[in-house]
Amino acid sequence: MDENYFRKVMTTIILAFLIVLSFFLLKPILLSIIIACILAFIFTPVYCWVIKKVKSENLAAAFICVLLALLILLPVWFLTPIMIDQSFKVFQASQQIDFVKPLKTIFPNFFASEAFSNEVASTLRSFATKVTNSLVNELAQFILNFPTIFLQFLVVFFTFFFVLRDKDELISYIQSLLPFSKDIENKLFESSKDITISVIYGQVIVGILQGLAVGVGFLIFKVPNALFLTLLACLAGVFPIIGTSIVWAPVVIYLLIAGNAFPAFGVVIFGLISTGIDNLVRPIIVAKKTRMHSALILIGMIGGVFLFGILGFILGPLILAYLLIILEIYRGKKSPAIFMKQ
């Protein structure tokens, strides 16, 4: 056997072995590393502004790390006890709510059968119980697993610092590993940047802003368990097509049944403001950017949640987006793509 060929084969085997070993080594903290990279992408504009002021990469990155720590830790510290309390209250309330009564009022003929009404009530109560019970368990696990979560946070902050500071060198290194020509590399990175902005800013950030707008309405009009409902509205706002109305509309119905017409009207106003945020802010953020089809983003989010948990809201659409970018480069055609919009 040729000695050079033998060396190449052995080098490939050793490299493959080390890659597999490194994957299993990093697997427990892989999502934390990905979170740090996403956060670094989000905070890059702030970092660029700070570095112009302080003229030091280390100092600017450290300042952004402290800012991120405050943005995460302070709300968690103050809001977690409130969230746990309200989640328990919502769980208890879900056991006592008459789900069929408002439906009978709106659709009297459809719910004329008592047996059918009882079956629907049982199904809705079971669904509400599972959802609220899952949220309560997640909050409880957050507290029980605090030591592990703390270590994950350390990984996030250290990775965030170095990715933020050395992003240009990191991008150059990744480009050096890609088996594409320079033109395709530039197109790949430009499209990836556009689609990442579209998903993270245009879908996730705008969705959270929509949920917060609805939450302001809940707080102003003293809706019970407003903080918990705001969290649900933020999660719902992130999903395309679905939106925050899936949260505030039932709240409005509940308030009307309870005889609170004025708070119900106020929540509707803030719900419409939430819709306005989507219609006004999203086009500004993703203007002239490559965008994914809304249905594909929804599918990616749902699949991502099943695979990655809550982080799948972001990772699912991004994985599909990067696959589509590669496919579009492979197609090399100027005809419009069905899943990607310019």
What residues have CB less than 8 Å from 199, skipping those under 6 apart?
Answer: 292, 297, 314, 317, 318, 321
* Residue 143 token pair: 């507290």
CB 220 within 8 A of CB 266: yes
pLDDT bin (cut points 50, 70, 90) of residue 112 is low
The predicted pLDDT at position 335 comes to 46
pLDDT at 238: 80
What whole-number percentage of the chain has pLDDT above 70? 77
Residue 198 tokens, joined: 């579209």
Mean pLDDT of 225-233: 83
Tokens for 76? Answer: 């968690």
pLDDT digits (tens, 9 = 90+) for 250-296: 888 778 777 778 888 888 888 888 888 877 776 666 655 556 677 77
d(CA 291, CA 260): 41
Average pLDDT over all residues of the chain: 77
Amino acid of residue 6: F
Predicted confidence at residue 105, as pLDDT, reads 66
- Rank 144-153, 218-227, 240-249, 309-318 by mean pLDDT and report only the highest: 218-227
Q: Give residue-wise pLDDT tens across range 170-185.
A: 878 877 777 766 777 7
pLDDT digit string (tens) for 27-70?
Answer: 888 888 888 888 888 888 888 888 888 888 888 888 888 888 88
CB within 8 Å of 198: residues ≥ 6 apart = 285, 286, 289, 290, 291, 292, 321
Res 1: pLDDT = 54
- Coil, strand or helix at 291: strand
